[in-house]
Structure 1
Amino acid sequence: MDLIHDKFVRFVKTEQLLPADHIVVLAVSGGVDSVVLAELCYVTGTRFVIAHMNFALRAAESKRDQEFVESLAAKLGVACHVKEVDTAAYASERHLSIQEAARELRYAWFEELRSSLAQVTPARIATAHHLDDSVETMLMNMFRGTGITGLRGILPRQQHLVRPMLCLTKDEIVAYANSHKLQWVTDSSNQLDKYTRNYFRNQLIPMIRTVFPHADQNLYSNLHRFQDAVMLYRESVERRLKKLVEFRGGEVHVPIRKLRMQPAWETILFELLQQYGFVSKQLSQVVNLLDSETGKQVVSDSHRAIKNRQWLIIASLVQEDAAYVPVEEIDTVVEYHGGRLVIANLENAFTFTDGKPGLSGGAQLSIALIESKQLRFPLLLRKAKPGDYFYPLGMRKKKKIARFLIDLKLSKTAKESVWVLESDKKIVWVVGYRIDDRFRISENTKNITQITYTAVNSTRR
C-alpha cells in the first residue's frame, strides 16, 4: 500500500496543500476516511491538531464517536479539540435541514480554531473528502442545475480549506486502512437514503454500475476533464464580463443591447446572476425581464435584478434602516451613509444677471448655495420618503420629489438612495440634485450657507 502513500504525497506536493510551515486543523469524525487522513498526515510529518464536533444526533453513537476520536488523538500524540452542539435546535431556529445546519456549525467552528492557531503560526483546515465524494458532488450539481462550474466537483483548495485525499478513491482508502490495521467507527446515518448524498451513493450510482460496469473509472476521468474545461470556460466568461459589466455604487450595471450582442449571451448572463444568489430556474425570468417595462424586477435571496430603460441593474436587497442625521449650526462636516457634506458660511460675493447668481462654469449639482437667514437649526438629513415635496429652484409651484426623480429618469435603486436636507419641516435640498426655490440666494442676500456634497459612490443612471 506504499503506492497509496506515495500518491497522497505527490498530490499534496503538486497542489501545495500542506506546507511545512503550517499547522493543520484536521476534521476527524472517526470514520475510515478521516482516520486514514490522520494516519497519512502523521506518517508524513505534517503538524496537525484534531477537531471533532459532536452533533448530538445519534445519542450513544455520537458519544462513542467522540471517545474514539479522543483516544485516536492520544495515540497519535496530538491535541484534540471537541465541541458538542445541539444541531437539531440550530436547524429548527434557522429553518435549515439537518445536513445544512451541521455543515454551518462545523465549518464555523473549524475556522474559529484555525484563526486562533493562525495568531501564532500559519494554519489551514483539512477535511477527508476523497475522489468518490467529488464525483457524487459533480452528479448532484448536474441535477441541481448549477451550470458548468458545478461539474468541477470538490476543489482541492478553497482559501484556508484543503482536501488532501481527493486523489484517492474510497476503495483505496479502505484498502490502506485494512493493510495498516487501522480502526475506525461507522456512522449509521450514512445508510439513511433520506439524505441526498447518501441516496446518490447507496442507490443511484450502484444502479448506474449495473448498466455501465466501468462507470466509476469513467466518472473519475471525466471529472478531471471537466475541471480543465471549467478553467477554460471561466477564463472566457470572466473576460467577457469584464468588458460588459459596470460597477456603480455597489451595484452591477449591464447594458442590455451590448449583452445581447455577445455570443452565448444567456450563458454569460447565467454566470453573472449566479454570483448574486440567482438560481438556474430564474434565468428565463431575467431574460424576459430584459423586454419588460422599466422598474420590473426579479428577486433572489440576496439581490434583485431590475430593468431600467436600456440597462439591467443588480442590487443588494439589504437596505440600511431609515437614517436621520441632525445637522447643528456649528457643524462643518457631516458624514453619513450616502456621502459627505462640507458646510461653509460665506458673504454674498456673487454677481447677478436677471435675478440669478453668476457662477463661473455654470451651476454645480453637488453644491447648494442657500440663504443663511432662511435656515432653522438643527437641520435634518434623511432619506427621501413618499409624500415629500419641495419647490424646485426656478419654480413657484411645489412638486413631489418622487415625480421630480421620475422626470430625471433615475433608476429604481438610484431613487431609493436619494437624501434630503430639511429645515423646520421644509425640504431645503434634494441632495446632489436641486435646492428648494424658497431657500435660494438673491441680490439682497448678505450671508450664504454653502454645502458641498461628495458621494460615497455614484449610483446615478
Structure 2
Amino acid sequence: MQNNLLTGFSEYIQREQLFTPAQPILLAVSGGADSVAMAHLFHMAGFSFAIAHCNFQLRGAESERDEAFVQQLATRYNVPLYTTKFDTAAYMDQQRVSVQVAARELRYQWLEATRKAQQYAFIATAHHMQDNVETALMNFSKGTGLAGLHGILPRQGMVIRPLLFAQKEALQDFINTQGLTFVEDSSNITDKYTRNFFRHHVLPPIREAYPGAVANMAATIERIREAEQLFQEAVDRHRKKLLERKGDTWMIPVLKLQKTKPLVTLAYEIFKGFGCPPTQVNAVLELLESGSGRYVDTATHRILRNREWLLITPLEQPEPAILVIEPEHSHVHTGSGHLKLRVQERAALGSIPTAAAIACLDKQQIRYPLLLRRWKQGDYFYPLGMAKKKKLSRFFIDQKLSLPQKEKVWVLESAKRIVWVVGMRIDDRFKLTEHTKEVLYLEWEEGSN
C-alpha cells in the first residue's frame, strides 16, 4: 500500500503538472489524518515543503492541541512552520457570514499572503477523492450547472490538491502502515454542516448499493471536467453572438435569443453572470414573450424587456462608507468596483504602467491599515508631478468631471494622507523613486461582476 500510494502520488502530480520537484510547496496542515498523510508523502517523495497551520479558536483546548501537534510534526520533518490565530467569531459578525465561509476566507487569505511573503510556489491542501465526490454531489443537489459537477479542481490559481487521486480508505491504510498519528476534529462528527451530512448520510447508502461508487463517480467527474472545456467554448461563442455592451448596459436581441438552442441551458449560462440563479431562468425567459416594460430583478441586475431587446443593467448596491485594508488583503470588493492589491520587487516590475486604472506606489511610504472611501469636500492631495497640494474638488473641475462622475470617485488613504485618487492620479509623495525596493501594485476594475 505504501509503495502504491507513493507511486500514485508522484504520477498524479506529474500527470496534472501540479509542480516540479524543484519548487517549494506550502502545505496547509490541520493535523487531521488527510493532511498528515499528505505531509508524510511529501517527505517520502523528497519534495521541498513547509507547513502552515490555522488556529480558528473555535474549539477551545482542542484548537490549541491541534496547533501543538502540528508544531511537533514540523519539528519531526525539520521543515519551516507558519502558524496564525484567527478571531473567527468576530470575523463572522463583521462580515455576516457562516462559520464555514469565515474559516475558508480567513484561511485562504492568510495562506496566500504567507505563500507570497515566503516565496513558495503553491499552496497544497489535502482534499482527496471522497471530498471531490461529496463536493460534486452537493453541487448537483444545489443545481450549479455543469461547472459545479467538475468538483474540486486539481489546481485552482495558486492552490493545488495532490491527493485527489486517492480514496479516503487508501490514505487511512497508509497512515496505519506508516504508524502515523493525527488529531481528530470533533466538529467532523456533527451533521449541522452540509458536507458532514453528505458524508454521514448520503454517501454510505450509495456505497452500500454500489461498492465502487466513489471511484466510479470520481472517474465521471474527470470526464465532466474535460467535457466542460468543450462546453464552455460553445457557450462563449453563443455569448459573443448574443451580448452587446453599451456603457454599463448589456443588450440581447430577443429574436436571436429565441432561436438559440438549447435555449434553457444557454440562458442559464449567460444570465448566471448577472446574478441569476437557476430558479429565475424561467422567469427571465418569460420576458421573451412579454411586452415592453416587464422586468426581472436578480441579486445584482435588472433584466428589462424593451421592445426587441433585453436590457441588463446593474442594480444600485448600497456601499460601505469606508473599507479597511490590511497587509494580507489582496482583493477588496465594493458595490461599484473591485480593487486588487499585491506587493512585488521593484526590479521585477520593469516599466511603470501608464493605465489610469493601475497605480504603483512606494511600499516603504505606505502605512497600514489603508482606507478605501468615497471622496469628501475638503480632501486634498499632491497630484503626481506637482509640488503643491490641490483640493480634489478643484482637481475634478480640471478633469472636467460631471456631477455623477464625481459622486463615484473613490480615494485610497494611508495614515490620513490620500495616496491615490482611484483610477485617476496618485499622490506625488508615494511615487516610485530610484530608492524604491518594493512596489504596492494596485489595479481597479469598474463594475460589480
Q: Same fold (TM over 0.5)?
A: yes
Matches of 2:311 and 2:52, distance apart in 1: 44
Is the Cα–Cα contact under 8 Å of residues 322 and 382 in structure 1 kept in the other structure? no
**1:99 aligned residue:** 100
* 1:248-290: CA deviation from partner (whole Å, max 9, x where unpaired): 3344332222122111122112112223332211212222234
* 2:125 is the counterpart of 1:127: yes
Kindly provide the amino acid, as one letter, of the partner of residue 15 in structure 1: E
* 2:132 is the counterpart of 1:67: no
* 1:63-88: CA deviation from partner (whole Å, max 9, x where unpaired): 11000001101111111111111212
Give 1:334's match in structure 2, choosing from 399, 404, 407.
399
Is the Cα–Cα contact under 8 Å of residues 322 and 383 in structure 1 kept in the other structure? no
In the alignment, structure 1 segments of 5+ residues that lack a partner are 337-380, 385-415, 418-458
Paired residue total:
340
Matches of 1:41 and 1:248, distance apart in 2: 52
Matches of 2:92 and 2:28, distance apart in 1: 21
How far 1:199 sits from its partner (Å)?
0.4
**1:158 aligned residue:** 156
Give 1:382's match in structure 2, choosing from 395, 399, 403.
403
* 2:240 is the counterpart of 1:242: yes
Matches of 1:303 and 1:161, distance apart in 2: 31
Matches of 2:9 and 2:237, distance apart in 1: 35
Distance 1:319 1:61, change over 3 A: closer
Distance 1:250 1:176, change over 3 A: farther
Question: How does the TM-score come out when normalised to structure 1?
Answer: 0.68
Kindly provide the amino acid, as one letter, of the partner of residue 227 in structure 1: R
1:201-212 alignment runs, 5 A limit: 201-212=199-210
Kindly provide the amino acid, as one letter, of the partner of residue 94 in structure 1: Q
SS at match of 1:263: coil
**1:272 aligned residue:** 270
**1:402 aligned residue:** none
SS at match of 1:155: coil
Matches of 1:155 and 1:271, distance apart in 2: 20
**1:76 aligned residue:** 77
Is the Cα–Cα contact under 8 Å of residues 126 and 161 in structure 2 kept in the other structure? yes
How far 1:23 sits from its partner (Å)?
2.5
Matches of 2:175 and 2:301, distance apart in 1: 47
Matches of 2:399 and 2:132, distance apart in 1: 53
How far 1:54 sits from its partner (Å)?
0.6
**1:49 aligned residue:** 50
How far 1:146 sits from its partner (Å)?
0.2
SS at match of 1:6: helix
Is the Cα–Cα contact under 8 Å of residues 323 and 383 in structure 1 kept in the other structure? no
* 1:421-442: CA deviation from partner (whole Å, max 9, x where unpaired): xxxxxxxxxxxxxxxxxxxxxx
Matches of 2:183 and 2:400, distance apart in 1: 59
How far 1:21 sits from its partner (Å)?
4.3
Question: How does the TM-score come out when normalised to structure 2?
Answer: 0.69
* 1:215-265: CA deviation from partner (whole Å, max 9, x where unpaired): 233322322222222222222212221222223334433222212211112
Matches of 2:192 and 2:278, distance apart in 1: 24
1:33-432 alignment runs, 5 A limit: 33-118=34-119, 123-294=121-292, 296-317=294-315, 318-319=335-336, 334=399, 336=401, 381-383=402-404
SS at match of 1:313: strand
**1:27 aligned residue:** 28
How far 1:311 sits from its partner (Å)?
2.5
Kindly provide the amino acid, as one letter, of the partner of residue 216 in structure 1: V
How far 1:10 sits from its partner (Å)?
0.8
Is the Cα–Cα contact under 8 Å of residues 134 and 154 in structure 1 kept in the other structure? yes
How far 1:323 sits from its partner (Å)?
9.5
Range with greater deviation from structure 2 (61-70 or 77-86): 77-86
Distance 1:234 1:181, change over 3 A: same
How far 1:111 sits from its partner (Å)?
1.3
In the alignment, structure 2 segments of 5+ residues that lack a partner are 316-334, 338-373, 378-390, 409-446
Kindly provide the amino acid, as one letter, of the partner of residue 203 in structure 2: I
Matches of 1:76 and 1:264, distance apart in 2: 55
Percent identical pairs in the alignment equals: 40
Kindly provide the amino acid, as one letter, of the partner of residue 252 in structure 1: W
Is the Cα–Cα contact under 8 Å of residues 323 and 382 in structure 1 kept in the other structure? no
Range with greater deviation from structure 2 (85-94 or 165-174): 85-94
* 1:143-166: CA deviation from partner (whole Å, max 9, x where unpaired): 101011111111101111111111
Is the Cα–Cα contact under 8 Å of residues 22 and 47 in structure 2 kept in the other structure? no
Larger radius of gyration: 1
SS at match of 1:383: helix
Is the Cα–Cα contact under 8 Å of residues 129 and 214 in structure 2 kept in the other structure? no
How far 1:19 sits from its partner (Å)?
2.4
SS at match of 1:46: coil
**1:407 aligned residue:** none
**RMSD of aligned residue pairs (Cα, Å):** 2.9
Matches of 2:47 and 2:274, distance apart in 1: 38
In the TM superposition, structure 1's runs of 4+ consecutive aligned residues that sit over 6 Å from their partners are 320-328
SS at match of 2:54: strand
**2:364 aligned residue:** none
Distance 1:8 1:382, change over 3 A: same
Is the Cα–Cα contact under 8 Å of residues 49 and 80 in structure 1 kept in the other structure? yes
**1:424 aligned residue:** none
